[in-house]
Structure 1
Amino acid sequence: MDGRTQRVLLRKWSGISTLFLAAACGPGAVSESPEPQTQSAALFAGEPLVSAASGRCLDVAQESRTPGTGLQIYGCHGRVNQAFTFTAAGELRTYDNTLCVDTASGQTAQGTRAVIATCTGSPAQKWVLNANGSVVHTATGLCLDVEGARTADGTPVIVWACNGQTNQRWSRPSVPDTQAPTPPSNLVSSNLTCNSVTLSWTGSTDNVGVAFYDVYHDGQHVKSVDGNTRSTSLTVVPGVTWGWYVNARDAAGNVSQASPTLSLTPPQCQADTTPPTAPTQLSGSVSGTSATLSWNASTDNIGVTGYDVLRNGARVGTATGTTYADSGLAASTTYTYSVVARDAQGNLSPASNALTLTTGAACTNPICSVTQVTTDTDIPWGLVALADGTVLYSRRDAQDIVRLNPATGVKTTLGTVPNVQSTDGEGGLLGLAVSPSFDTDRWLYIMHTSPTDNRIVRMRVTPGFTLDPASHQVLVQGLLRNKFHNGGRLRWGPDGKLYASTGDAQNGANSQNTSNLAGKVLRINPDGTIPSDNPFGNLVWSYGHRNPQGLAFDSSGRLWEQEFGNSVMDETNLIVKGGNYGWPNCEGTVSQGGSGCATPGYIAPKRTYSTAEGSCSGIAIVRDVLYVACQRGTRLYREVISGSDLTNVTSYFVGTYGRLRTVEPTVDGNLWLTTSNSGDKDSIPNNSNERIFRVQLGN
């Protein structure tokens, strides 16, 4: 970006109009590609600093570019000598970010004139804008001061002992900062031990300045550090692999895209080759096509971490306690069970005694049978059942849509969705929904991540079941994206509106901003327009969500939602028009900030789950029973809707099929169920080994 172009960015305040290059580059506009930015450069030419005492602006005298020229206050006019930028390196730059604010001749004495100088990166050119409006010289601890507290044009600006008076307070005009920092880079680790690690990274750049770095693993926020920090020590768990990354955040709350992921597996704290003792006294009973097992606990020199349940010699489930329910078995069939204990280092005990059980002649259980219909090398994410009994599902990282004929197992590809880009995390090709009148209009609705945002589009499916590229329409765009927290589920309501779940894009502040579509449940007309009865005059239906991925309607037309928490608990919510569900101040029922879950107006969840037994993505409702598919919890919850409560909660398939992503009703009132076990936190296509099941329901 040349100086002439940057001067188009003249900011006019005090009632004068504002012109932004960003506006000029909006839809329908043409812009040049910006030149690469240096570490200390910013995209915009800077913003004014207004003296609280006089209302006049910090100004380079006579609009001179000569190093050594003094700073003064002068009536605000918006020219380039009144535009200043605090960089990520701590400098205060002006003149299109080409010159730095310094002290005259590098002096440190109180009363020294503030001047412009060639940028050198020296401590004398470092400044900090504090929340109270003071601008502090890092090298001396002195404040940027209007000499003698005078208010006339041309009054010199000096450094002086900080005293809190109005001639030492500066403010930005009411020009919004909407530019996110660049992503951090070069994330590396050091000092890795069994329980700690140090992460370091190269800092981001920002038009105003980076205020914080937020450190995550696998979508879970762990720690925040200030914008001048480039490394931090973190706690890890021995032997557990986590994918670490860092986001930059500025003072206005804009969050960068994430750094590349750094995968780390800490060593064990001590060698352990001693296996647990064998579980004893395995016993059980059968009810219809379900078996219930129990046993006596094992012991270990360090500690038993869980049990593997084996059916006919193959592992079919896991347990942390000493009971397990095995469901969906074949009728009138004999099975032999045993149980093995394991410790944190993977040492396995000898097997328990063998137990033989024979199922009943008929199913008398809520879950009757499970049939594997197909496998896939990519992650099945969105799934819809068509009236003809076939199924359409999206492949998240491969970015195409597949039609499955369950009767024959034959799969055909409809085609690739245009403009999809994954996020090296959980973004990509996400939710699907077919029009309520699909047989006549052939509209398929799709939610996906693009190179710049999350969006909702629709495309027609030809009678031969291919995607019609000419029909592609973008209905909703500009939904914030990030490595994780993209939401992505679509569901038609009984009111004929399309509902969509959006994540907070790893910035909890988005969730409470009803003018922002991130961290929300959206309600949309079929053509993408805003329904006239939406509560906030935009697409927002409910807010205060972190990363919602499950949506389903019950027989009363009420909307239920499933949401990922951070590190404490996940939640199931009953969504109401205009409702606020509390994130980021409230996670489930645990307060995390502000007045927390006691904040007036926050709506409590109907059920919560520990993250170890949750991390649930998809939900489905069949005959007013809610089914919840969980990933880390590796289970399917069955929960009876009774009034506004969820009752008779039961876990199924715990560890049987691994991480469960999506659950959807079949056209005949049963369930489709998909796994998400491999390649779940990267964007590499076809590096998975997933399964799609048909679950036959009973009473």
Structure 2
Amino acid sequence: MRKKRFTRIRGLVLIGCAAVLAVAGTVSTGSGTAVAAQATAANPAVRVDQGSLTNQATPAADALLSLNKPATASSSGGCCAAPNVDDGVSTTRWASGAGVDPQWIYIDLGAMAHVSRVRLQWDTSCATAYEVDVSADHTTWTKIYSTTAGKGGVEDLTSLDGNGRYVRMYGTKRCRSDSSHGYSLQELGVYGTVGSDTTPPTPPGTPTLVSDTPNSVTIGWSASTDNVGVSGYDIYHDGQLCAQVNGSTLTGTCGSLNPNVSYGFYVNARDAAGNVSQPSGTLNVTTPPSSDTTPPTVPGTVHSTAVTSTSVTLGWTASTDNVAVAGYRVYNVVNGTRTKVGTADANATTTQVDGLTPSTAYHFQVTAYDGNGNESAGSTPILDVSTSASSSCTPSQGVCTVTQVGTDDDVVWGLVTLPDGTILFNERDAHDIVHLNPKTGAKKTIGTVPNVQSTDGEGGLTGLEINPVSFSSDHWLYIMHTSPTDNRIVRIKYDPASDTLQTSTEQILLTGIARNKFHNGGRLRFSPDGKYLYAGTGDAQNGANAQNTSSLNGKVLRINPDGTIPTDNPFHNAVWSYGHRNVQGLAFDSQGRLWEQEFGNSVMDETNLIVKGGNYGWPSCEGTSGTCGTAGFIAPKHTYPVANGSCSGITIIRDFLYVACERGTRLYREQISGSSLTNVQTFFDGTYGRLRTVEPAPDGGMWMATSNGGDKDSTPHNSTNQIFHVTVA
């Protein structure tokens, strides 16, 4: 019998063809507490918990919206975390840090709401002066209540009138003013009605160029429309938010750009309820060069400092420039022809060139370049160095022999190794799955995944995974892709006998993951025991999604192999962790712990160790920037400047984490030591260009795929990519 599919659409749970309305502000399945809280509001004789705010009678018009919603605080004492403030139990509490004013805590209701009542139940450390604020974006706050005569106990504030998704208590003076006490709230209950606006604005018109300089671009666009009203526009280049304007402004400027660089600009519209449109078309602009035509000076005294069988470490004296050196390029010169084999950052005077052939002579030359693209002459004399004879790959080397095993002209995204040692990989823009024999380089397209639609950005055919325990018998391929309406997870059988994808067997496992031009996530990973399938999702270019545990976006998801929800998931849906921007890497270590890699916006990327129900801070926190010290946010284990990162796939081999970076054009190798990442090394810096995917190879090595050309435009077959086998220590 065909299994029913469950799809959540905001307040609805669709079961087959039936629809059951989930009451706003409560957990709709699997939460007896939430159901009991609703019953209590209607019938004060129902008792849920001694001291719980939910055992109070509430007016019929005032639905409790805050129960078990995400809470964020300015600080937190060791006993008393922010989530205690709305758990419905007065024997737990949130306590701020001691001796400091002001302090605050806010609750994310998950959707815009009209707030009519706020009930504060204070512990002894109450607030004499405080205010209650609402916000649509937890950045701009509107005060709906204030007092300088707070007395603690239960303060039930009725007849309030405010609209927002976030509700904050902002304390400015404590009842106990000595330095050993802070603010202490047992419960913060928010009542009201959730707004009914779930309709996003229409996409804005494709931008046109208004003006440009070497470091900025101003664009204009035609207005979006909305059933209520457009409140603002977000301007992006290549998935990176670069400007915001209000809903009545139809031009915007993105700054901090580089001269003579091509950017893709587009616009999203948003409304006051937090709905975000699908994107406009893309305007490609190449910034004009600056007036600087002076190249840097030639790097001096190029020399080798270390040589192995597959690498040479070079050093040089720094170049100078009339403006600034932007970086260095390393070439191998053979018969007058230069081939780039590495790069280095602007402040570096050394780099390691990897992927070399043992017992081979190389002829190295280093140049410097500036922000306008002016490049110096090559260093002289050319440095002649021979690699040593081949030997075992030692721990000090880390990464050794690199062998090309295949090429492809599309974006190579998900990649798995079959039991016979051959490879299947996804072509993101062509929507095909390809079978590659790494021993011969022979490859065959085994089928096209149905119902895939690209996004003129990063959406399309992304994740690919097999169950490590059951694939040999069930032959299911687990696939994540963008459809015309959402991102989703499906499974389709692979027939080894005919070497084809059996599209008629497709089963849809999970839908309702919002899509956008960028920030679609896409990585899939099975737990080592094969019991659970994990998926990384993006925030669909709406940061508020990441903190909303009812949304599947900006999350690490966890489902059973048949698509059902595990009973121990923390929010009774597919969400396992939240507060992520754009998850693109997942991997398990030898202890069965899940590590995750995600893109930052403009400051830093991050590697996280994922825990059940964990909040990783986006959009308030990016890496360690922003309000990352906020109580309840889990700090990353390692961060990377975006210019050196934009890292996508990760894999773990013998408890070393390998991180493939696109914009950073490098591979990081990091030792997992306890719950820390240590001994961070950099390989292939600029050697192969953008790196997207790394996966374990059956011989203890690693597969590595590049992502060069066409990886931001959704055009099929316009890339130039390589797939390598890498020997690792």
TM-score of the aligned structures, taking structure 2 as reference length: 0.72
Counterpart for residue 51 of structure 1 = none
One-letter identity of the residue aligned with 1:339: V
1:607 corresponds in structure 2 to 638
The answer to whether the aligner puts 1:339 opposite 2:370 as a matched pair is no
- Shift of the alpha carbon at 1:519? 0.4
In structure 2, the CA distance between the partners of 1:322 and 1:192, relative to structure 1 (3 Å rule), is same
Separation in structure 2 between the aligned mates of residue 611 and residue 598 of structure 1, nearest angstrom: 21
How much does 1:278 deviate?
1.9
Match of 2:79 in 1: none
Contact 1:188 1:201 in 2 (8 A): yes
* 1:271-317: CA deviation from partner (whole Å, max 9, x where unpaired): 51x33322111110313432110011223333322211012331101
**Counterpart in the other structure of 1:244:** 265
Q: CA deviation at 1:270?
A: 0.9
Aligned to 2:411: 379
Cα RMSD for the two superposed structures: 2.6
Aligned residue type for 1:487: G
| 8 Å Cα contact 1:304-1:344 kept in structure 2 | yes
**Change in CA separation of 1:457 and 1:391 when aligned onto 2, cut-off 3 Å:** same
Q: Is residue 2:725 matched to residue 1:697? A: no
Structure 2 counterpart of 1:479, from 485, 506, 513: 513
Q: Determine the structure 2 residue equivalent to 1:350.
A: 377
Contact kept? 1:510, 1:516, Cα under 8 Å:
yes
Q: How does 1:425-574 map to 2 (within 5 A)?
A: 425-436=457-468, 437-463=470-496, 464-495=498-529, 496-574=531-609
| Residues 168/415 of structure 1: CA separation in 2 closer, same or farther (3 Å cut) | closer
Name the amino acid aligned to 2:361: T
More strand by share: 2
How many angstroms does 1:26 deviate by? 9.7
**Structure with more contact order per residue of length (Cα contacts < 8 Å, sep ≥ 6):** 2
Taking the TM superposition and a 5 Å limit, the aligned residue runs for 1:35-46 are none
Gap change, CA 1:347 and 1:386, over 3 Å in 2: same
Q: What secondary structure does 1:206 align onto?
A: coil
Shift in Å at residue 232 of structure 1?
A: 2.0
Match of 2:243 in 1: 223
In structure 2, give the amino acid aligned to 1:325: Q
Q: Distance in 1 between matches of 2:292 and 2:664?
A: 28
d(CA) in 2 for partners of 1:218 and 1:186?
Answer: 15
Counterpart check, 1:322 vs 2:346: no
Equivalent of 2:612 in 577, 580, 596 = 577
Counterpart pick for 1:212 among 219, 232, 250: 232
Is the CA contact 1:386–1:667 (under 8 Å) kept in the aligned structure 2?
no
User: Once the two structures are superposed, what CA deviation does each residue of 1:59-94 show, in whole Å capped at 9, x if it has no partner?
Assistant: xxxxxxxxxxxxxxxxx9xxxxxxxxxxxxxxxxxx
Question: What displacement does 1:204 show?
Answer: 1.2
Task: Measure the CA separation in 1 of the matches of 2:687 and 2:725.
Answer: 15
Tell me, in whole angstroms, the C-alpha distance in 2 between the residues paired with 1:318 and 1:461. Answer: 41
Task: Give 1:342's aligned amino acid.
Answer: Y
The corresponding residue for 2:315 is 294
Give 1:29 shift: 9.0
1:397-438 deviations in Å (ceiling 9; x for gaps): 000000000111110111000000000000000010012311
Matched residues in 1 for 2:324 and 2:696: separation? 41
| 1:136-215 equivalence runs, <5 A | 174-215=194-235
Cα distance change on mapping 1:169 and 1:346 into 2, 3 Å? closer
Query: Quick check: 1:519–1:547 contact (8 Å CA) kept in 2?
Result: yes
1:590-649: CA deviation from partner (whole Å, max 9, x where unpaired):
11xxxx212211100000000001000000000000000000000000000000010100
Matches of 1:392 and 1:653 in 2, distance apart? Answer: 24
Structure 2 match to 1:259: 280
Moved more, 169-178 or 224-233: 169-178
Q: Give the aligned partner of residue 693 of structure 2.
A: 662
Structure 1 residues 538 and 348 mapped into 2: Cα distance closer, same or farther (>3 Å)? same
Q: Match of 1:687, SS?
A: coil
The DSSP-based 3-state class of the residue aligned with 2:221 is: strand
For the residue of structure 1 that corresponds to 2:546, the secondary structure is: helix
Q: For residue 298 of structure 2, what is the aligned residue in structure 1?
A: 278
Distance 1:130 1:604 in 2: 30
Stretches of structure 1 lacking an aligned partner (at least 5 in a row): 1-19, 31-75, 77-128, 134-165
Q: Distance in 1 between matches of 2:315 and 2:162?
A: 70
Q: How far does residue 198 in structure 1 lie from its aligned partner after superposition?
A: 2.2
Which amino acid letter does the alignment assign opposite residue 651 of structure 2? A
CA contact (8 A) 2:584 2:648 kept: yes
Contact 2:704–2:723 (8 Å) recurs in 1: yes
What are the Cα deviations for residues 516-542 of structure 1, in whole angstroms up to 9, with x where unaligned?
A: 110000011000000011111111110
Pick aligned residue for 1:309 from 310, 322, 330: 330
Q: Cα gap change, 1:371/1:597 in structure 2, threshold over 3 Å: closer, same or farther? A: same
Cα deviation, residue 494, structure 1: 2.4
Give the C-alpha shift of residue 560 in structure 1.
0.2
- 3-state SS, counterpart of residue 511 of structure 2: strand
1:366 equivalenced with 2:398 (yes/no): yes
SS of the residue corresponding to residue 319 of structure 1 reads: strand
Matches of 1:383 and 1:681, distance apart in 2: 19
Share of identical aligned residues, percent?
61
- What is the alpha-carbon distance in structure 1 between the residues aligned to residue 419 and residue 265 of structure 2? 43
Is 1:232 aligned to 2:259, yes or no? no
Alpha-carbon distance, 1:193 to partner: 2.3
Cα shift readout 1:116-172 (whole Å, capped 9, x = no counterpart): xxxxxxxxxxxxx99999xxxxxxxxxxxxxxxxxxxxxxxxxxxxxxxx9999999
- Residues 291 and 525 of structure 1, relative CA distance in 2, 3 Å threshold: same
- Highest Rg: 1 or 2? 1
1:520, 1:544 within 8 Å by CA — same for their partners in 2? yes
Distance 2:574 2:17 in 1: 23
Summarize the Cα distance change of 1:577–1:23 in structure 2 as closer, same or farther, 3 Å threshold: closer
Q: 2:653 aligns with which of 607, 622, 625?
A: 622
- Equivalent pairs, count: 545
- For 1:676, the aligned partner's letter is S
The aligned amino acid for 1:195 is N
- Structure 2 unpaired stretches of 5+: 1-8, 20-60, 62-111, 117-158, 165-191
Cα distance, 1:350–1:456 mapped onto 2, change above 3 Å? same
User: CA–CA distance in 2 between the matches of 1:449 and 1:602?
Assistant: 30
TM (norm. structure 1) is 0.75
Gap change, CA 1:621 and 1:173, over 3 Å in 2: closer
Change in Cα spacing, 1:329 to 1:233, as seen in structure 2 (3 Å) is: closer
CA distance in 1, matches of 2:199, 2:14: 13
Cα offsets for 1:327-375 (capped at 9, x unmatched): 2322222222111222233333222121122222224321111111111
SS at match of 1:192: strand
AA in 1 matched with 2:645: G
SS of 1:356's equivalent?
A: strand
210-219 vs 647-656, which moves further: 210-219
Match of 1:421 in 2: 453
Q: Return closer, same or farther for 1:566/1:168 CA change in 2, 3 Å cut-off.
A: closer
Of the structure 1 ranges 458-467 and 613-622, higher mean CA displacement relative to structure 2 is found in 458-467
Distance 2:410 2:10 in 1: 41
C-alpha contact (below 8 Å) 2:660/2:666 kept by paired residues = yes
- Please name the residue that 1:71 is paired with: none
- 1:195 CA drift (Å): 2.9
SS in 1 for 2:501: coil
Aligned equivalents of 2:453, 2:316: Cα separation in 1: 49
